[in-house]
């Protein structure tokens, strides 16, 4: 959720913090703030609203604080306490010599707060985060032998829940203390300077060398270097990772919104996912990240895929693909439910975790449950060095590049391509011949060009959105491989345009949703040519007879669908298993244009943040 950035070095910290917060604003944009440390003075400025508003407010800072070379900044996604100036981070202790920012949730904050109040501490916010700065203050003042590092470590031993924190103090003015448990933090390594952030976005323009903190680790960062220890005070060896993307990948590149840019990047993303992994001419597929465990994967009695949100929809398609190609039983679970229902998995089973960020809190919790039960845990994620990548036994990066738009688009496409390749790998030598695999790979390699042709329909899709922009509800219907796409299309519409939308298997329409259909209800059908095509036509007729307004996604040249619908978006033909990678693109564009026409900020939809790192 919230965005964290910190700097210690030889440059002025303020512009670095502000630019970093702008890069991180997709993680939280309810409020923003920063703390600057110069000698014996900490200056905090924070307020409800955007980072641009915070930037404007920094003109009031005195010159000595503008020259400060140490600072921390935060952009908030509210959990405890509404968005307000008082609830914005950073938080100060009473003597204003400790400042703290926090991402996560302190689950036992209520009892800690009552204890601190009984000892005379006064709270100025409604947040759980403020507890931490007062707790550190109390512990530090209780023992003159302690330093900021040990006071922070001792305080965190009292905390239940998740945290990613940065702490500075004018009592020790040349260091930043950071720690994580369930909420990501990364240290960027410069020359005589270090950068701290909740993800790599604000770091890439300064350095490509980073160190990722693991759960239960605390680091002391100075101008001369950093040390990483466990909460138990045991020093930890860390590996320096080189970031694999550049600054241009986290900028809009001439597009009005990140979401639109990322929709249009999908043909290239498809190529990137396949690059070095498939050879269509020879019918070869090689997934290096799982090669060591491939035999065990093929022998699994049962595969469980755990994910959340858009990744869960990709997982549903993965279930269809693996079951059809490899004939292995697959179950798809919401990660948030898997962790709480004592799932039946063991040493003969495989649990696949899918997460764009690799930091989704519920998916990480599901990973830990699966490991405890002895299952082989495999990850599919986009972010190199993320927690899921580090804690799974094997896995694959999607190589989709940074996804800044809160509503996921290209990550979904990359995940489905990856699941398609995984299904074929599990099938090789077991259920599908070499020639069949070669045919599937040739079809897969044609998808980027077909996706590019769909993107040329952007103007037509915007015209359809103009006619339906004032709808209050929408229904998305699909069958087979395109039922999960119906779910994803509905999710995209509701999360960025705030139009209530539901996705259903088309056959289930008569079991309830048909009651909602009237002359004002747009019904979006995915009506591509496959084994359910005739059934879909019947469903369209049922909607028409009730005056519903039908929009269809159909294959080029389909006159029958055109005759039955008010609007039809024609897309290139493909095999049924590959069709979701094409049918989803018009639905993404439909949601995007519906939202922009309604005046919604598609990159920062209300109440949502990019990476759900708290439960």
Query: At 28, is the secondary structure helix, strand, or coil?
Result: coil
Token pair of 117 as six digits: 């109040």
- Please state whether the peptide bond connecting residue 460 to the residue before it is cis, i.e. omega within 30 degrees of 0: no
Which residue's entry shows tokens 């993303």? 269
Token pair of 607 as six digits: 């109440």
Collect all residues with Cβ–Cβ distance below 8 Å to 297 and sequence separation of at least 6: 290, 350, 376, 378, 426
Task: Choose among 503, 497, 499, 495: nearest CA to 473.
Answer: 499
Q: How far apart are CA 280 and CA 225, in angstroms?
A: 48
Token pair of 541 as six digits: 């007729």
Q: How far apart are CA 246 and CA 31, in angstroms?
A: 28
Backbone dihedral angles phi then psi of residue 293, each to the nearest 5 degrees: -110, 10
Q: How far apart are CA 340 and CA 355, in angstroms?
A: 19
Q: Are 262 and 403 in contact (CB under 8 A)?
A: yes
Q: Annotate 330-344 with DSSP letters as a single string.
A: EEEEEHHHHTTS---
Backbone dihedral angles phi then psi of residue 440, each to the nearest 5 degrees: -60, -40
Q: Are 554 and 528 in contact (CB under 8 A)?
A: yes
Backbone dihedral angles phi then psi of residue 599, each to the nearest 5 degrees: 80, 20
Backbone dihedral angles phi then psi of residue 357, each to the nearest 5 degrees: -80, -25
Measure CA 276 to chain center.
25
Q: How far apart are CA 34 and CA 96, in angstroms?
A: 14
Query: 192: burial class by Cβ within 10 Å (0-12, 13-18, 19+)?
Result: exposed
Give the single-character DSSP code of 239.
Answer: -
What are residue 41's DSSP bridge partners?
Answer: 38
Please give the helix or strand (H or E) that residue 580 lies within, else none. helix 580-597
Q: Which of 113, 181, 450, 610 is catalytic?
A: 610
Task: Answer yes or no: 308 catalytic.
Answer: no
How do strand 186-189 and strand 209-212 relate by DSSP bridges?
A: antiparallel
Query: At 180, is the secondary structure helix, strand, or coil?
Result: strand
CB atoms within 10 A of CB 19: 17
Q: Are 300 and 326 in contact (CB under 8 A)?
A: no
Q: Are 424 and 432 in contact (CB under 8 A)?
A: yes
Q: Annotate 594-612 with DSSP letters as a single string.
A: HHHHTT--TTS-TT--SS-
Q: Which of 2, 166, 306, 394 is catalytic?
A: 2
Token pair of 68 as six digits: 């400060």
Q: Annotate 83-139 with DSSP letters as a single string.
A: SSTTTSSPEE-TTS-EEEEEEEEETTHHHHHHHHHHTT----SS-STHHHHHHHHHH
CB atoms within 10 A of CB 456: 8
Task: Answer yes or no: 381 catalytic.
Answer: no
Residues serving a catalytic function are 2, 610
């Amino acid at each position: 959720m919230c965005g964290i950035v910190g700097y210690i070095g030889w440059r002025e910290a303020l512009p670095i913090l502000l630019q970093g917060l702008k890069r991180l604003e997709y993680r939280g944009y309810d409020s923003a703030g920063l703390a600057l440390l110069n000698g014996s003075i900490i200056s905090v400025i924070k307020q409800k609203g955007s980072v641009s508003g915070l930037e404007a407010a920094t003109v009031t800072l005195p010159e000595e604080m503008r020259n400060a070379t140490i600072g921390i900044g935060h952009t908030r996604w509210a959990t405890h306490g509404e968005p307000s100036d008082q609830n914005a981070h950073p938080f100060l202790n009473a003597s204003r010599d400790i400042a703290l920012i926090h991402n996560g949730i302190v689950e036992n904050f209520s009892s800690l707060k009552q204890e601190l109040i009984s000892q005379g501490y006064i709270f100025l916010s409604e947040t759980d985060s403020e507890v931490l700065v007062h707790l550190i203050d109390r512990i530090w003042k209780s023992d003159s032998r302690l330093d900021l590092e040990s006071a922070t470590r001792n305080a965190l031993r009292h905390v239940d829940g998740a945290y990613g924190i940065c702490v500075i103090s004018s009592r020790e003015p040349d260091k930043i203390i950071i720690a994580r448990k369930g909420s990501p933090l990364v240290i960027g390594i410069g020359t005589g300077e270090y950068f701290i952030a909740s993800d790599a976005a604000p770091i890439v323009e300064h350095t490509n060398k980073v160190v990722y903190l693991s759960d239960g680790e605390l680091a002391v960062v100075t101008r001369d270097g950093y040390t990483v220890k466990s909460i138990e005070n045991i020093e930890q060896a860390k590996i320096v990772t080189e970031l694999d993307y550049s600054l241009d990948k986290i900028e809009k590149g001439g597009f009005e919104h990140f979401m639109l840019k990322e929709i249009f990047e999908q043909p290239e993303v498809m190529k990137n996912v396949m690059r070095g992994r498939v050879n269509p001419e020879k019918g070869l597929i090689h997934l290096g990240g799982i090669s060591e465990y491939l035999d065990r994967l093929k022998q699994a009695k049962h595969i469980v895929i755990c994910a959340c949100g858009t990744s869960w929809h990709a997982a549903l398609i993965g279930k269809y693909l693996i079951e059809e190609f490899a004939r292995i039983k697959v179950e798809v679970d919401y990660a948030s439910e898997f962790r709480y229902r004592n799932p039946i998995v063991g040493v003969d089973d495989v649990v696949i975790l899918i997460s764009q960020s690799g930091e989704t809190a519920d998916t990480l919790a599901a990973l830990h449950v699966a490991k405890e039960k002895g299952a082989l845990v495999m990850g599919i994620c986009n972010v190199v060095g993320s927690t899921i990548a580090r804690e799974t036994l094997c896995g694959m990066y999607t190589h989709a590049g940074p996804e800044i738009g809160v509503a996921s688009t290209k990550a979904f496409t990359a995940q489905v391509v990856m699941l398609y390749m995984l299904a074929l790998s599990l099938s090789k030598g077991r259920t599908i011949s070499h020639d069949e695999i070669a045919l599937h790979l040739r079809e897969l390699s044609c998808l980027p060009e077909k996706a590019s042709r769909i993107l040329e329909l952007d103007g037509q899709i915007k015209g359809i959105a103009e006619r339906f922009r004032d709808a209050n509800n929408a229904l998305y219907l699909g069958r087979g491989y395109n039922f999960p796409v119906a779910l994803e299309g509905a999710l995209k519409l509701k999360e960025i345009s705030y139009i209530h939308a539901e996705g259903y298997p088309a056959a289930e329409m008569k079991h309830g949703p048909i009651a909602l259909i009237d002359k004002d209800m747009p019904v979006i059908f995915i009506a591509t040519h496959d084994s359910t095509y005739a059934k879909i036509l019947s469903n369209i007729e049922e909607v028409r007879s009730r005056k519903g307004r039908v929009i269809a996604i159909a294959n080029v040249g389909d006159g029958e669908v055109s005759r039955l619908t008010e609007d039809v978006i024609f897309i290139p033909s493909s095999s049924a298993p590959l069709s979701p990678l094409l049918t989803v693109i018009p639905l993404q564009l439909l949601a995007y244009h519906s939202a922009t026409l309604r005046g919604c900020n598609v990159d920062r939809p209300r109440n949502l943040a990019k990476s759900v790192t708290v439960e």
